[in-house]
Amino acid sequence: MNRYNLEKRFLHGGDYNPDQWLQYPDILKEDIELMKLANTNTFSLGIFAWSTLEPEEGIFNFQWLDNIMDSIYQMGGNVILATPSGARPSWMAEKYEEVLRTNEKNEKSIFGGRHNHCFTSPKYREKVAIINEKLAERYANHPALLMWHVSNEYSGECHCDYCKNAFREWLINKYQSLEKLNHAWWGPFWSHSITSWKQINPPSPLGETAVHGLNLDWRRFVTDQTIDFYKHEIKAIRKYSPNVPITTNFMSDTYDLIPFQSLNYAEFSKHVDIVSWDCYPAWHNDWESTADLASKVGFINDQFRSLKQQPFLIMESTPSAVNWHDVNKSKRPGMHLLSSMQLIAHGSDSNLYFQWRKSRGSSEKFHGAVVDHDRSSENRVFKDVQLVGAVLEKIKAVKGTDKKSRVAILYDWENNWALNDAQGFSQKTKRYPQTLQEHYRVFWDLDISVDVITIDEKLDNYDLVIAPMLYLISETTINKFVKYVKRGGYLVSTYLTGLVDETDLAYLGGWPSQLVELFGIELQETDIYYPKQINGIEENNRSYQTKDYLSIVNPLNAKTLAKYTDDFYRGKSAVTVNNFGKGKAYFVGARTNYDYLFDFYQSIIGELDLAPKFIKVGNKNVSIQTRGDSKQRHYFILNFSEQKQAIKIDEKKKNLLTDKFVGPEIDLPPYGVMILSD
């Protein structure tokens, strides 16, 4: 039985820590009552509960968890049951120091905090296997169990001897010989050739940081070792509950909402059944408009959806404020519904919160929660949550439906690592993930659905693939691009593309010849500007500013679209297009502002007929996202502004919240939400 697939409701609820409240039976009772009142149905249990589950080595206590799981089941709810490896009991650290992490300066952590364990330690793996097996055996057939939540936000790295040896093994497996490794790492540079595997250490400020091949391999190893640890964690779970889906919660990088930097989720996502992630935008901040931020939220959610090309889960979000932003502002009236519906609009099948109830002590006692210290169901946050629950119930036909995109933006973790490592260019303006967000923005403004894909994805599913700044590019990827365009695909590439191969060694003899052929250009040189300097380009008698990176392009077969207006390369090509096979390869040689990107993509959008037909008059403050298939589509119309907004659609559609037909003119109040169906 797979209860997850049978569950027709959106998952609404969140992280619940009854283990913090075992001395307060009235609170535990109250929780169940409030869960029903809040229109919530799903709770993640046990995430950091190891010291309650195993208070002393080998002494286990599951009674409290039995009781809570039974109560949640009896009230009609689901449990997402966690393995507790994200934090460990103090007895374990005291007895087995090796479970703690060693940093890059070879300093061993002392007990405290969380997420600070060694992924390789045999003792930690042994202890994790025992507790996971106990949990799996006991709860595999519990009727409330919906899904497994393995650990919590895996991250970080360890430099202990176990990890160093594992890294060396990983390298031996990869390179087989020191000659090959020394070539890939460009050994003779600064006399860094290696004559024995034992000489290899992870990158460290006390030792090696300048060998880019080493840095790249270390990051790859850290991802692989984390996945290996995860695979170790799920062995018992798979054994006892082969049909219950497994996930682990992923993250983004804080305010910017750019993809998480230190683990390659393209790889990790292959090993989870469902992608889930924790989404914490800083709504109402003082440095960007609500629509600016909403577009970034759209980008990152589209990325998590695209990782497995299926609906994903929001495992954590906040119903009000967090406690770890510089300023922790609460959501204004209307924002909780709007921001929750945006997550659903981009393909989430849940909105789960951190946290159900505010803890009473320690660092998260002022982090937003459904239930505040006042224990009230009457306050604004509780009512906001109730409303989201009621709306999710109304729109449950949307659950499980897909999102279809004809446009893809390609993000590559390895490229990001290598580009950040590259000494040269301009350190502060590389901004690879932010550049992708800028390209995405044009499509978000025009309500054109975008997938944010990885290098492994099939390109033929898309009419347009946008792959900016692929500084590190393998021959396999180049071949993939060539085939894609030959068959009729449109490809957009930019400055800082195609400079190094997958070992981070520079391509010799100029740009790889296949890229020259594909784009029909020669890359002459790339000029780097200081942040305040600008040049210009001109296209169709319109001028635009360019900045940061300015490649000078010599067209061979390509047609010039835009030329520079200034500097020693005035009049030379900046943007080109090449008809290649049945498709087109565009090269945007200069970094521009939004206005150019908007105009540049207009002609492509027109040629490929990408704009949604049902929108007659759009509005850049209103995001329209569509879920569903040709049989039935659901339209999320979301006003990300503090003013009233209007749009126009082609015909009347059913408002799922009121069951009345609306349109073609649609007015939305500030932060207004409308969800329509064909």
Cβ pair 101, 64 in contact under 8 A: no
Q: Nearest approach, Cβ of 150 to ligand GAL (angstroms)?
A: 13
Give one word for 211, left, alpha or beta, with left for phi > 0 and alpha for psi -120 to 50.
beta
User: In this complex, which beta carbon is closest to ligand GAL, that of residue 358 or of residue 403?
Assistant: 358
What's phi and psi for 226, nearest 5 deg?
-65, -40
CB of 315 to ligand GAL, least distance (A): 8
Residue 674 tokens, joined: 């409308």
- Under the criterion CB under 6 A, does residue 175 sit at the interface with ligand GAL? no
Helices (H), 185-334: 212-240, 265-268, 290-308
Q: Give yes or no for a contact between 17 and 52, defined as CB atoms under 8 angstroms apart.
A: no
Q: How far is the C-alpha of 665 from the C-alpha of 137, rounded, in Å?
A: 57
Cβ closest to ligand GAL, residue 278 vs residue 463 = 278
152 binds ligand GAL (CB under 6 A): yes
Q: Which is nearer to ligand GAL, 278 or 501 (CB)?
A: 278
Our measurement of the distance from residue 479's CA atom to the centroid of its chain's CA atoms, rounded to an integer in Å, reads 27
**How many residues sit close enough to ligand GAL to count as binding (CB under 6 A)?**
10
Judged by CB, which is closer to ligand GAL: 263, or 500? 263
Asked if 408 is part of the footprint of ligand GAL (rule: CB under 6 A), the reply reads no
Applying CB under 6 A, does 367 fall inside the site for ligand GAL?
yes
- Would you give the distance in Å from CA 244 to the centre of its chain? 23
Per DSSP (E only), the strands in 141-220 are 145-149
Secondary structure of 56-87 in HEC code, one letter for each residue? ECCECCCHHHHHHHHHHHHCCCEEEEECCCCC
- Contact between 278 and ligand GAL (CB under 6 A)? yes
Q: How far is the CB of 353 from ligand GAL (least distance, A)?
A: 10
CA 22: distance to chain centroid?
A: 35
Active site (catalytic) residues: 153, 316
User: Is residue 316 a contact residue for ligand GAL (CB under 6 A)?
Assistant: yes
Which listed range, 190-198, 316-324, 603-611, 651-659, lies at the site for ligand GAL (CB under 6 A)? Answer: 316-324
Strands 590-592 and 633-639: unpaired
In the complex, least distance from residue 77 CB atom to ligand GAL, rounded to whole angstroms: 20
115 sits near ligand GAL (criterion: CB under 6 A): no
- What is the C-alpha separation between 79 and 141, in angstroms, rounded? 12
State how far the Cα of 416 lies from the Cα of 414, in Å rounded to an integer. Answer: 5
What is the nearest approach in angstroms of ligand GAL to the Cβ of residue 524? 46
Q: Please, which residue, 354 or 601, has the CB nearer to ligand GAL?
A: 354
CB of 91 to ligand GAL, least distance (A): 22
The residues facing 452 across adjacent strands are 409
The residue among 277 and 462 lying less far from ligand GAL, judged by its C-beta, is: 277
Nearest distance in Å: CB 322, ligand GAL: 5
Task: Determine, following the binding rule CB under 6 A, whether residue 329 of this chain makes contact with ligand GAL.
Answer: no
Nearer residue to ligand GAL within complex by CB, 367 or 375: 367
Q: CA-CA distances (angstroms) from residue 672 to 320, 334, 643?
A: 18, 7, 9
578 strand-pairing partners: 585
Which of 31, 98, 153, 548 lies at the binding interface for ligand GAL (CB under 6 A)? Answer: 153
Any bridge partners for residue 492, and if so which? Answer: 466, 586
| Binding interface with ligand GAL (CB under 6 A) | 152-153, 278, 280, 316, 322, 324, 354, 364, 367
